[in-house]
Homo-oligomer: A and B are copies of this chain.
Amino acid sequence: MLIVQKFGGTSVGNLERIKNVANIVKSYREKGDDLVVVVSAMAGETNKLLEYAHYFTPVPPQREVDLLVSSGERITSALLSIALQSMGVPAIALTGRQAGIKTTSDFTKARIKEIESEKIKKHLNEGKVVIIAGFQGINENGEVTTLGRGGSDLTAVAIAGAIGADKCQIFTDVDGIYTTDPRIEPNARKIEVISYDEMLELASLGAKVMQSRSVELGKKLNIPIEVKSSFEPFKTGTLITKESKDMERIVVSGVAIDRDQARVSIFGVDDKPGISADIFGRLAANNINVDMIVQNVGHDGKANLTFTVPKNELELARVVLEDYNEKASEISFDPKIVKVSVVGIGMRSHSGVAAIAFKALADRGINILMITTSEIKISMVVDEDKGEEAVRALHQAYGLEKASA
């Protein structure tokens, strides 16, 4: 198989860990796989370099920041190549530029435009393990760019697409994606297979592991992504792949909790066109991200509107919407909430999924403050101190502790 493997900062955090990665790569190679390996900077290195930059100014020029921080991944790639070659494994380290990664010019958050993969393929054909410095590319002027958070995952998935790899393995410090956070629900079970869409909706379970943009790219390029642990490299992880009929038998894949939301409710505003546009227009103009929005049908010419914003943007929202203290009969702000979500593509073909959730929470006396649903997700806002209990109730209600049928 042709596999792209990606090792994150913790997996290459020191020289011993890099040697461990070299051993993993060597084992896969000895099984007969052709390998491209994408590496992150050694844990802490990127932050160290950013601190250096901020010694001089709070807002360092982004072009130079990219030139600076891209060094971290170069260093790791060279070291891993040295480690592999010292074990007798033919290898070559390539920078983002050398790997043909062409990006936009948005320094510190560039997007990949194209990968000219001839060089990678040439080295693969010569029997080498090709090691690529993640997180970076060049723009059309040959300037070094970086891809922002999760950039090395993105590099790995994009390269897998460009060279037609059979899969992309993301090695990290956890052994997969779980049905929910095991610190909340000890019966949480590792998911074996999950669809791209479910993974995207379960962002809060996977965010520590994979950024949404990499999952989206995997979906677009149809690259199976396996999340697994660099501490147990031969144990099966979680495979994120395209939907199959088989998956639909499983109604719910996981339960996620998002503690970062705060609620804003505006009661008794005039129920006329333009009010929502005004409110959300102001929030957008101030770069406040709105997540859930619930608006009921108006009554007596008045409407009630509730939505959530990130906790650390709540105070800004309060300022932005100050004049609604007069325009509305009441406006309230509540940071003490959490959002609990149930995700599964089986919801599309199974009825009664939502009812199970509502009953599970009702049975425990947990009040649901807001509900929104999408095709494959039901999200509910509950009081902060009921969040973990809600997760456990839902996990149990859908029988997630059992291995899939």
Interfacial residues, chain A to chain B (CB-CB below 8 A): 15, 19, 22, 49, 52-53, 55-57, 60-61, 63-65, 67-68, 71, 74-75, 77-79, 81-83, 85-86, 92-93, 95, 98, 142-144
Judge whether A71 and B65 touch: CB under 8 Å: no
Closest 9 CB pairs of A and B: A57-B86, A68-B78, A71-B71, A67-B78, A56-B83, A56-B86, A64-B78, A15-B55, A60-B82
Q: Which residues from chain B contact A79 at a C-beta distance below 8 Å?
A: 52-53, 56, 64, 68
CA distance A64 to B129 in the complex (A): 14
| Contact among B49, B52, B78 with A65 in the assembled complex (CB-CB below 8 Å) | B78
* A–B pairs, 6, beta carbons within 8 Å: A49-B75, A57-B85, A64-B93, A67-B74, A68-B82, A98-B142
Chain B, residue nearest A61 (CB): B85
Judge whether B77 and A74 touch: CB under 8 Å: no
Chain B, residue nearest A79 (CB): B52
CA distance A68 to B60 in the complex (A): 25
Most B CB within 10 A of own CB, among A67, A79, A92: A67
Judge whether B53 and A65 touch: CB under 8 Å: no
Judge whether B98 and A86 touch: CB under 8 Å: no
CA distance A19 to B56 in the complex (A): 8
Judge whether A53 and B74 touch: CB under 8 Å: no
Judge whether B86 and A60 touch: CB under 8 Å: yes
Q: Which residues from chain B contact A67 at a C-beta distance below 8 Å?
A: 74, 77-78, 93, 95
Judge whether B71 and A74 touch: CB under 8 Å: yes
Judge whether B78 and A15 touch: CB under 8 Å: no
CA distance A57 to B87 in the complex (A): 9
Chain B, residue nearest A84 (CB): B56
CA distance A75 to B73 in the complex (A): 13
Q: Which residues from chain B contact A65 at a C-beta distance below 8 Å?
A: 78, 82
CA distance A52 to B63 in the complex (A): 28
Q: Which residues from chain B contact A144 at a C-beta distance below 8 Å?
A: 95
Most B CB within 10 A of own CB, among A68, A78, A83, A98: A78
The distance from the CB of A26 to the nearest CB of chain B, in whole angstroms, is 13
The distance from the CB of A314 to the nearest CB of chain B, in whole angstroms, is 33
Q: Which residues from chain B contact A53 at a C-beta distance below 8 Å?
A: 78-79, 82
CA distance A64 to B65 in the complex (A): 24
Q: Which residues from chain B contact A68 at a C-beta distance below 8 Å?
A: 74-75, 78-79, 82
The distance from the CB of A236 to the nearest CB of chain B, in whole angstroms, is 30
Judge whether A75 and B71 touch: CB under 8 Å: yes
Provided the pairs A71-B74, A74-B71 are in contact, do residues A82 and B95 lie with their beta carbons within 8 angstroms?
no
Q: Which residues from chain B contact A61 at a C-beta distance below 8 Å?
A: 81-82, 85
A60-B85, A68-B75, A98-B143 given; name 11 further pairs at CB < 8 Å: A52-B75, A56-B82, A57-B82, A57-B86, A61-B85, A64-B78, A64-B85, A67-B95, A68-B74, A68-B79, A98-B142
